[in-house]
Chains A and B, each alone.
Chain A
């Protein structure tokens, strides 16, 4: 079996998001099939500037074929078009213009798929919202498998992506909440889909003592790992923690990751910056719990890693995915207000029995649903299922509307569409212990 993993950026230096997800999946599927990665020459997701050489490359033993980006992103233009399609009635042509403006616009990658697409049995596209996924699915729909990595953001309400969700052969969801969102926005229940997620390489024996010795941190520790950004809810976390520290001054908040937003100066807030994976896992193992304040997550890998290490988590209850995972796993608490934050944090920190129970549940949840053998098997099962399906069941992409139809401004604002979608964590009935079978 020959597989193509199509993703907007690819490389070992990319530590997060869909790109890391794609790399992990590609490297693990390479044990079962011949995998080639199709990507762009860009490394910066803001400008999509061509920084790597076009052509064939080898990354961790995998063939990576890079294609140049035809034009960099104009941030002002993208902002204006985003406002237009998200906030105002608009047309399909304006959505397509928004997609071009977002990038990474790489017609050569699409042409490669058009010409050489038959060489691959399946093309696994990552991140529905980018140029490569939308146009790639249109030229390779009979072989397209989509890993949407969708969040509750306005882009999900654009009309053009509904076609993508309905046209692919299968969808590999990250969570039940993501699946519910996509079903609601595109009515694609008939398309095969499975909640898979992603595994993680967690060391079997992390050394928390080493972390304590290296940093000199004593007492209970709550840890945050990830980009320290306003979009991740970090300012709210800082506010809540500082208020909590006034009544419980022995707790330390450890931050790991690159800061984008200012970190307040506080004796109980320690920023360690960017550290190695080994140090990160040592720190997580030394912590009493992990806190994840983000409002929007399609799948928090660091949360899964904390569970793999047997650590409970405290997540933002406004994030449906995180809240749903906590409920399904019984391995973490969630908060929506400061009072809940303080109570839940105190509950976890003060009760070693609860910490232990939650951590144990988290480890079980991770091993059952997110261990790499489980993930690989779900991909292979889905591909086998697609192999067995009759050719007649294969759908074609919906024809694009005509020239005039594309310019008719009859589409509602995308944000308005997303606001109408159901909210809240998915119910337990959506799958045994969280991850359900293919639907």
Chain B
């Protein structure tokens, strides 16, 4: 973090705050804020996590998940039996009688004799106490009933909570399994991704190696068979035909010849052959074309030497038969060095190094199954031999 230039008398808090806010803005430009990170994390999960890909019997677990078994019920307390009926008592109870009409008389007499009774004892406090006790009893019974109901409700709640806890424990186990599976899948994907990355690097390395090899071989051919002045195919009628008919036909012709040779050991035949006038001459006078010209890139189109000195090769297939096949070039055969006539010499390799570093050359297009005819423009091709003054082959290369 940049320090502020501080002079004790010239501190400007507003300016410092502006700098702080500027730094925050800059950080946000390159960094994600926490909120953005969270959003990205959410998007990833939604987009890539597919539960169906998780190899687990998790769904079955969920399906088979039974309602949680109830916990061991709380042992109910022993009820002491029905509560006795509360008695009623009031001020007149001590005078009452249960003898019907006679009882009324007795009650009247007792009331009349009450003053005499009061000479011996005062029944009023006893009556009052018993009255209050009856009220208290009634209240206590009601309270006990409420407490009992409450205890029962609490017990039920506890049982319900226990069941929920049990279900939660089961769910926790399942959640753990989900997480475990996710981690396993993520790890596997990570390993896969690394493997793919290594594979891509390997293919790129091989491609680079082939490119260098092609250039080296090209130099070898050139150094061994110098172009004779006024070469046989570059002059005369053939040359004129070449320049007038263009480059596509010779290239097709060359592909046919390679097909006839069995399609083996022809590195970069399709991709690097820019076509040339000599091929056109072959078309005009169809001799048994040497199939395995095996010329490396670029020079094959211009250098007609292989046609003059056909190597020992199997006889070519008829043209009609080959033309019915799609013009495909197997990338594996184009990169296989097994058909190379000779390995490059150190001098040739040195020449390759002189023509330009591999890194500075245009990147070779990765040959696919359908793009074999596409020529690759290499610096060597441009500099070594290009007899066509119109540059048509060069145009075609591009």
A residues with CB within 8 A of B: 326-327, 329-334, 339-340, 343-344, 346-347, 350-351, 353-354, 356-358, 360-361
Contact = CB atoms under 8 A, between A and B. Distances in A.
B11 A333 contact: no
A337 to B, nearest CB: 8
A356 B20 contact: no
A330 B12 contact: yes
B13 A326 contact: yes
A331 B6 CA distance: 13
B75 interface: no
Contacts of B12: 330
Contacts of A353: 3-4, 6
A245 to B, nearest CB: 15
Contacts of A346: 1
Contact of B20 (A340, A357, A361): A340
A426 to B, nearest CB: 13
B24 A358 contact: no
Interface string B1-29: 10110111001111011001101100100
The 4 closest A-B pairs by CB, nearest first: A353-B6, A357-B8, A343-B20, A357-B11
A326 B1 CA distance: 23
Contacts of B1: 346-347, 350
A312 B8 CA distance: 13
Contacts of A332: 13
A131 B366 CA distance: 89
B6 A357 contact: yes
Interface residues of B, number: 18
A356 B21 contact: no
Given A326-B13, A350-B1, A333 B20 contact: yes
A421 B8 CA distance: 36
Contacts of B6: 351, 353-354, 356-357
Nearest to A328: B13
B4 A347 contact: yes
Contacts of A340: 17, 20-21, 24
Given A351-B6, A357-B6, A343 B13 contact: no
A344 B13 CA distance: 11
A347 B20 contact: yes
Contact of A358 (B3, B11, B33): B11
A343 B12 CA distance: 16
B7 A357 contact: yes
Contacts of A357: 6-8, 11
Interface in B104-120: none
Nearest to A346: B1
Given A333-B17, A340-B20, A343-B24, 8 more contacts: A330-B12, A333-B20, A346-B1, A351-B3, A353-B6, A356-B6, A356-B8, A358-B11
Contact of B24 (A333, A334, A339): A339
A69 B169 CA distance: 59
Nearest to B14: A327
A330 B23 contact: no
Contacts of B27: 339
Contact of B16 (A347, A350, A356): A347
Most buried by B among A340, A347, A356: A347
Interface string B21-57: 1011001000001000000000000000000000000
Contacts of B11: 330, 354, 357-358, 361
Interface string B75-104: 000000000000000000000000000000
A344 B19 CA distance: 10
Nearest to B5: A353
A13 B289 CA distance: 115
A333 B8 contact: no
Given A350-B1, A351-B3, A356-B8, A330 B13 contact: yes
Contacts of B16: 333, 347, 354
B20 A344 contact: yes
Most buried by B among A327, A332, A343, A344: A343
21 contacts: A327-B13, A327-B14, A330-B12, A330-B13, A331-B13, A332-B13, A333-B13, A340-B21, A343-B20, A343-B24, A344-B20, A347-B16, A347-B20, A350-B1, A353-B4, A354-B11, A354-B16, A356-B8, A357-B6, A358-B13, A361-B11
A326 B20 CA distance: 15
Most buried by B among A331, A339, A350: A339
Nearest to A331: B13
Contacts of B4: 347, 351, 353-354
Most buried by A among B4, B13, B21: B13
B383 to A, nearest CB: 58
B36 to A, nearest CB: 13
A358 B16 CA distance: 11
Contacts of A343: 20, 23-24
A333 B11 CA distance: 11
A254 B27 CA distance: 29
A340 B27 CA distance: 12
A357 B6 CA distance: 7
A356 B7 CA distance: 10
Nearest to A342: B24
A385 B233 CA distance: 118
Nearest to B13: A330
Nearest to A317: B17
A356 to B, nearest CB: 7
B8 A334 contact: no
A330 B7 CA distance: 12
A415 B345 CA distance: 92
A346 B20 CA distance: 10
Most buried by B among A332, A333, A357: A357
Contacts of B14: 327
Contacts of A356: 6, 8
A114 B3 CA distance: 62
A78 B21 CA distance: 43
A52 B7 CA distance: 54
A88 B38 CA distance: 40
Interface string B165-178: 00000000000000
A347 to B, nearest CB: 6
A323 B198 CA distance: 57
Contacts of B17: 333-334, 340, 344
A229 B390 CA distance: 89
A333 B7 CA distance: 16
Nearest to A334: B17
A243 to B, nearest CB: 9
Nearest to A243: B34
A356 B4 CA distance: 13
A95 to B, nearest CB: 40
B29 to A, nearest CB: 13
Contacts of A331: 13
B369 to A, nearest CB: 53
Contacts of B23: 343
A393 B259 CA distance: 116
Nearest to B24: A339
Contacts of B13: 326-327, 329-334, 358
A113 to B, nearest CB: 44
A331 B14 CA distance: 11
A38 to B, nearest CB: 41
A332 B21 CA distance: 15
